Amino acid sequence: MGQWKQQTLSRKNWMAFTGLFLCLYLVIHLAGNLQLFLPAERAHRQFNLYSHILSGNLIIKAISYILFACIIGHVVYAIIITVANNRARKIRYHYDRRGAASKWYSRNMGLLGTIIFIFLVIHLRDFWYVYKFGRLPMDADGHKDLYLLVVSVYGELWYVILYVICMVALCYHLLHGFFSAARTLGLYHPRYTHAVRVFGWVFSIVICSGFAAIPLYVYCLK
């Protein structure tokens, strides 16, 4: 098993596993947050109840630990891989036009990932940290009023713009990442490779436009 950890292919496997788990999480996260599109009164109560149930659930707690481990694993492996890749070519090309041979976002996964990571820190600080450790007013049902926090945060234009930009970065990251993960894990059949690639495009666009629509909707509602 010692060798398993050292090899380029196994490192990429870890990137694929952690990345796909994060993709799965995005689906669950978006599905829950779609409740914000309900009529304001209903959204208010239901969203607070939903977050109350989630925060009290042991399985959700276990999944959240796996989630944090996946984020850290994905970042750590990305750094290890990038350092090794930089070592694989120490002298740069004097004149470089290699970019014409591939998509820009496939070459800049690290940059896109950094934007997403910075966003994640801001996002966790504004919602997760405040919900867990901050002081929130209670709603009529006696649940922490997360809905109010969401509405007030998304009422700020600069935050909505930042959010949408980060979702565009996430979209490009997923456009390459989803199919790349399938390839790393060894999907080589030409028909299914194509199907996974198309699914990955649809997945990226649906997930990211869904997430970007929430702050825009809340902002416009205000």
Partner 1 sequence: MRIRLKIWRQENEHEPGKMMSYTLEDINPHMSFLEMLDTLNEQLLKDGTRPVEFDHDCREGICGQCGIMINGRAHGPLKNTTTCQLHMRTFTDNEEIIIEPFRASAFPVKCDLKIDRSAFDRVIQSGGFIAVNTGQAPEANSIPIGSPEVEAAFDAAACIGCGACVAVCKNSSAALFTSAKIAHLALLPQGQIEAQTRVRNMVNQMDKEGFGHCSNTEACEVECPQQISVLHIARMNYEYNKAQILKK
The residues binding partner 1 (CB under 8 A) are 3-4, 6-13, 81, 84-85, 87-98, 100-103, 106-107, 109, 176, 179-180, 183-188, 190, 193
Q: How far is the CB of 202 from partner 1 (least distance, A)?
A: 19
Q: Which is nearer to partner 1, 12 or 52 (CB)?
A: 12
- How far is 38 from 19, CA to CA, in rounded Å? 30
∠ CA(134), CA(119), CA(121), 5° rounding? 40
Q: How far is the CB of 117 from partner 1 (least distance, A)?
A: 18
Q: Which is nearer to partner 1, 15 or 150 (CB)?
A: 15
Q: Cα 105 to the chain's mean position, in Å?
A: 16
Q: How far is the CB of 212 from partner 1 (least distance, A)?
A: 26
Contact of 77 with 14, CB cutoff 8 Å: yes
Q: How far is the CB of 69 from partner 1 (least distance, A)?
A: 21
Return the SS3 of 52: helix
Q: Which is nearer to partner 1, 41 or 96 (CB)?
A: 96
Q: Which is nearer to partner 1, 59 or 83 (CB)?
A: 83
* Cα–Cα nearest to 153, from 130, 121, 120: 130
In which element (H, E) is residue 102 found?
none
